[in-house]
Structure 1
Amino acid sequence: MCTSHAQEPCEAAQAGAGRRSFLRATALLGAAATASAALPSASAEAAAAQATSAAWRPDTAGHRFTLAVMPDTQYLFDGPSIDKAPVEASLRYLLEHGGEKSRNAENIVFLSHLGDLTQNGAAAEFAAIGEAFELLDRRGVGYSVLAGNHDVKSSTTDQRGSTPYLDTFGPRRFRGKSSFGGASPDGYNTFHLFRAAGREWMVLALDWRLSDQGHAWAKEVLAAHPTTPVVLTTHELVVEDDSLSAYGQQLWDRLIHGHDQIFLTLNGHYWPAGRATRKNAAGHDVHLHLTNYQNRYFGGAAMIRLYRFDLDRNVIDVETVSPWILGRAAKGLNELERQEIELSGDADRFSVDIDFADRFSGFAPVPARPARPASKVLVRDTAAYWRFDGHADGTAVSGTVRDLSGRGNDLTLVTVGGGTLGWSSDHHPDQPGHGSLEFRGFKSPLKGAYLRTVDGAPLNSATFEDGYTLEAFYRLPADWDPAHHAWSGLVSRTGTGGAAGRTGDDPDEPLATLSLSNDREPQWAMRPLNQEGIATNWGQETPLETWWHLAVVNDGTHTTLYVEGCPVVRNPKAKAVGITSVGLPWLLGGYEYGGKIDQILHGRLGDVRIVARALPVSSFMNH
């Protein structure tokens, strides 16, 4: 950070940076005794013993992991006033929370220090912080450091030669670490590789000031790892919200803007914390974050940022905590510690939405899953299988759609009000067949087209007493309107409860229907052989313009509805055996009420399969 420095006056930009008022965390204090039990212990010896015994073994396959960030610690290592306890508390936190076997597992995979480790760059200061980082060295924890303007002569670039920083945190320290990728010839720039969420990631740690040689080296590293997403760390880049410093702009122009792999940058140097977002040359967002707390109590107390990546939710949740203060909570905190125990302002606790697959698609596209032949989908006891690939987009469906199970459950076209049914190549990414049917149903006046099984098809009379699995893929368009499109059936069995002598509930309802409610909730409503009334399974609202997979599974006793392979909450507990039949056809895209067509699907329907037994989730078509 640019405070008064013997080598360099404070930069004008800092004078205007301003300070944010302290945040009070009194709610946390009320639970301090409880919190301290799950966080670093008050005793340094006990914490060290726990850290030594717990295995630091990050989960490299799971879709959630944490990158820890430690900004400017310079005031803790300032000449005669050296206090390494806060840094050691933060490092022990990583050890206690990092491994998958830890009772407090965060799955912390890496730590990045953002520079200004020390105040004066003196050998004694570096000896102290170097000793603190031995906590990580002894356990093989992956981490990176870089030089800030207080660690080296600030008027120099990475070509400055030997310094106490380089003696302490040069490449020799990292050789042999599994995450260490290499260093520039001068030793001041390094790159580190770690595995998380089943792929390789890079932290590119750059010096306070890159020389031309440094820029060339960084570009060579990126070129050598063309499919690896990169977090770039450096001491100076963002100066305040939505603004880069002059050097930060240069770094953006010369390196970041043209390299799509760099999706996140982290820097310290200035305060208060801030964020910026810029579009790179590929048109993708790059998130640029400033984090620095040296202006706060106890020089920031070695606060750490936790970047929690969640690739299932496509988000990075960010939190800022002080393990040193948290660890002291059981003993009682002073007034200033109570204000710093955890920061909750917009710049310190926030979420970043990133569709990781889409963001990385320009340099590391996820290969599309290839189509699978019908023979791979025809599992034992398949009663019917229909798929809709192999046709030109937009062309109209005509003639017969064959049942690929070979059991004769072919489909014929039914049009209403002059409606049409079209072929589409759009499909669920995990669908066996790469095609779908595009239904264009409308409620009033009723218009559209749907498919029905031929008269005499074996499926028409099947009752599935021993169980069944019905699967379908579907996607609703942006113009789907509940006033005109609700309660259309994806797959349904015709014939009414009244016709079957089952008068419980509404006797005009069909014998079975997998439909979509006005809130786009999938519903399986049917009359089992052992019930007078209707048994219903309900799913949750499914968003538009998204492909979904549904599966209804009956094991001969109970029925479970799955959305994307996940069981829904509203699955009835009552015993349900088979599906009542009066020998009438099944419909795709149509729904009958009172024995007459009442609604037609508005959306796309992909592969549909019916199996005469219960299948495990691992055997669903989307697996």
Structure 2
Amino acid sequence: MKRSIASLVSALVLATSLAQAADPHSFTIAVLPDTQNYMDYTHQKAENFAFDASELFLGQMKFVAENLQSQGGDIAFVTSLGDVWQHQSLKIDPEHEARGFKAVPNAVLDAHFAPTPKVRSVEMPMAKRGFEMIAGKVPFSVVPGNHDYDAMWTHSVPEGGARFDPKDMTKLGMLHPGGLNNFRSVFGDQTPFFKDQSWYVASHDGGADSAQIFTAGGYRFLHIGLQFDPPNASLEWAASVLKRYAGLPTIISTHDYMDNAGQRLPNPIIDASAADPQDNSPQMVWDKLISQHDQIFLVLCGHEHGQAFRTDNNKFGHPVYQVLADYQDRGQTAKDAAVKSAYPVGIGDGWLRLMTFELGGAKPGIQVRTYSTHYKKHSTEAESYAQWYKAQEKPKLSDAEFLRQDEFRIELSDFQARFGKPAAVTAR
């Protein structure tokens, strides 16, 4: 019986994963950026969409589950970068309302993100179903993005502002998220996903901020997940966790941190620090937390469509590698399905990041690959990859340069000097 090309490629990917798993100092972190368009209730057959976009999300989670170390693969940790689902359930959350915040109509954004009960009946249950595939099998983190808050509304500053102008959001006030009851009900620190898990070592704000420890490649790693534009209390909590686990190589995941030009700038449409003095912009997070703690060596983020990479030295003179990935705006799957729309329909197309740490050799590094569980191909294997996505993400790059944005190696030049040589590990 002849095997299809798709099945052969799938088998090759799995074989590659298992081969990497044979190296005891090699392991992979699976990074799930912005899954909101898969969960969006309007992107399902029940709403007369051409296909169930949620199946692409479930396909991602199935792939991750099948390639975990506990299942014979090489994935040792999983991090979701937020915007897990799309919609909100409230117009404005009670906490912000009690503090004097007021929501004003926003003709453009209200039409797309009006509160709906379907976030609780469709989108959140689907997210839970996906993460149940890996629960109890691997340490993982989920941080809230702006869409995961109970409300996302336009703040009335200045009072009685001018007519909405998408080119100048300050005319009305900044889009602002608030309330985390929805997020806590699925990913809070008291949910079955995390309660009593030995690797889930700390949490704050009911699990909106969280910390995990995992052991892989001969090292013990600390991972800290921070909520959207984290407030001062979140940064203070994170600093206390770093002190408690001093010296462990540390990864930070947060939703909003870097744009696709590699700048630590918020999206001008939604900058929580501009609306609320308690919150911090990406640059503030760098200044107050990341640059101040030498054990932080890697930062992962989503939110801004596309991809970017930058390296900066912290105050100790050591490099911090900062990586953006967000594929929510990719809609080739909608085009494949002949979806008719007056505007491009972002889905995500199954793309996720696989970051393979190779820590045992003379030159430690991280091989960054981008893989679609829908097309069952890495970015470099998809012949039309640049044709599909370059124009909307990085139009000034050549095709080759664009491909290098999604498959590259991070040289961890001083990793062993900072964190020691890897401990001996029994081959898996």
The TM-score range, normalised by the shorter chain, is: 0.5 to 0.7
Task: Please list, as runs of the form range in 1=range in 2, the aligned pairs for 1:71-470 lying within 5 A after superposition.
Answer: 71-82=33-44, 83-99=53-69, 102=72, 105=73, 107-121=74-88, 122-124=119-121, 125-137=123-135, 139-152=136-149, 153-154=151-152, 161-173=179-191, 174-246=194-266, 247-297=281-331, 298=333, 299-311=347-359, 312=361, 313-326=363-376, 345-358=403-416, 360=418, 364=419
State the alpha-carbon separation in 2 of the partners of residues 242 and 90 from structure 1.
26
Give the total of aligned pairs. 308
Corresponding residue SS for 1:214:
helix
User: Quick one: higher RCO (CA 8 Å, sep 6+), 1 or 2?
Assistant: 2
Give the letter for the 1:303 counterpart: W
Alpha-carbon distance, 1:31 to partner: 5.2
Preserved contact between residue 39 and residue 323 of structure 1 (Cα < 8 Å):
no
Is the 1:314–1:353 Cα contact (8 Å) retained in structure 2? yes
Q: What letter corresponds to residue 313 of structure 2 in structure 1?
A: K
Q: Is the 8 A contact 2:290 2:296 kept in 1?
A: yes
Larger radius of gyration: 1
Q: TM-score, normalised by structure 2?
A: 0.65
CA distance in 1, matches of 2:29, 2:43: 30
Quick check: 2:152–2:176 contact (8 Å CA) kept in 1? no
Distance of 1:260 and 1:113 partners within structure 2: 24
Aligned counterparts of 2:329 and 2:205: Cα–Cα separation in 1: 34
Shift of 1:91: 1.6
Relative to 1, partners in 2 of residues 1:101 and 1:356: Cα closer, same or farther, differing over 3 Å?
A: farther
CA contact (8 A) 1:303 1:322 kept: yes
The separation in 1 between residues aligned to 2:256 and 2:417, in whole angstroms, is: 25
The amino acid of 1:123's aligned partner reads R
Instruction: Pick closer, same or farther for the CA change 1:321–1:162 going to 2, 3 Å.
Output: closer
Q: CA deviation at 1:81?
A: 2.5
Q: State how far apart, in whole Å, the 1-side matches of 2:356 and 2:198 are.
A: 22
Distance in 2, Cα, partners of 1:128 & 1:101: 23
- Amino acid paired to 1:257: S
Q: What's the CA shift for 1:131? A: 1.3
Q: Is the Cα–Cα contact under 8 Å of residues 39 and 93 in structure 1 kept in the other structure?
A: no
Structure 1 80/158 Cα, relative in aligned 2: closer, same or farther at 3 Å? closer
Q: How does 1:39-50 map to 2 (within 5 A)?
A: 39=13
Cα gap change, 1:337 to 1:243, in 2 (>3 Å):
closer
Q: Which secondary structure does the structure 1 equivalent of 2:207 belong to? A: coil
Distance in 1 (CA, whole Å) between partners of 2:249 and 2:368 is 19
CA gap 1:301/1:277 in 2 versus in 1, 3 angstroms: same
Q: Measure the CA separation in 2 of the matches of 1:256 and 1:70.
A: 22
Identity of aligned residues (%): 27
Change (3 A) 1:351 1:160: same
User: CA offsets, 1:266-294, max 9 Å, x none?
Assistant: 10011221111111000011111110111
Identify if the C-alpha distance between structure 1 residues 281 and 336 changes in structure 2 by more than 3 Å, giving closer, same or farther: closer
**Per the alignment, in what secondary structure is the counterpart of residue 376 of structure 2?**
helix
Please list the CA deviations of residues 61-85 of structure 1 after superposition, one character each: whole Å capped at 9, or x if unmatched: 9211111101011111113434321
State TM-score, norm by structure 1: 0.45
Separation in structure 2 between the aligned mates of residue 359 and residue 295 of structure 1, nearest angstrom: 40
Question: 1:448-504 CA deviation, whole Å, 9 max, x = no partner?
Answer: xxxxxxxxxxxxxxxxxxxxxxxxxxxxxxxxxxxxxxxxxxxxxxxxxxxxxxxxx
Q: SS state of the match for residue 165, structure 1?
A: helix
* Distance (whole Å) between structure 2 residues aligned to residue 191 and residue 60 of structure 1: 28
Whole-Å separation in 2 of the counterparts to 1:279 and 1:359:
15
Pick the structure with more strand per residue. Answer: 1
Unaligned runs of 5+ in 2: 45-52, 89-118, 156-174, 267-280, 334-346, 390-399, 423-428
Q: Report the secondary structure of 1:118's partner residue.
A: coil
Shift of 1:37: 3.4
**Structure 1 gaps, min length 5:** 1-29, 41-55, 328-332, 368-623
Verify: 1:37 aligned to 2:33, yes or no. Answer: no
**SS of the residue aligned with 1:291?**
strand
- In structure 2, relative to structure 1, the CA distance for the partners of 1:358 and 1:136 (3 Å cut) is closer
Matching residue's letter, 2:245:
H
Structure 2: distance between partners of 1:164 and 1:193: 25
1:34 to partner: Cα distance: 2.3
CA shift for structure 1 position 359: 5.1
The answer to whether the 8 Å contact 2:81/2:302 transfers is yes
Paired with 1:347 and 1:214, the residues of 2 have a C-alpha distance of 31
Kindly provide the amino acid, as one letter, of the partner of residue 183 in structure 2: Y
Match of 2:158 in 1: none
Q: CA deviation at 1:143?
A: 1.2
User: Residues 316 and 322 from structure 1, CA distance in 2 versus in 1: closer, same or farther, beyond 3 angstroms?
Assistant: same
Deviation, 1:144, is: 0.7
CA contact (8 A) 1:70 1:304 kept: yes
Mapped contact 1:192–1:204 kept (Cα < 8 A): yes
Q: Would you tell me which structure has more helix in proportion to its own residues? A: 2
Q: 1:191-210 deviations in whole A, cap 9, x for unaligned?
A: 11100122210111100021
Distance 1:180 1:276 in 2: 29
Does the 8 A contact of 2:184 with 2:206 survive in 1? no
> 2:425: which partner in 1?
none
Amino acid at match of 2:143: L
**8 Å CA contact retained: 1:278, 1:287:** yes
Whole-Å separation in 1 of the counterparts to 2:25 and 2:385: 37
Which residue pairs with 1:70 in the alignment?
32
Contact 2:143 2:226 in 1 (8 A): yes
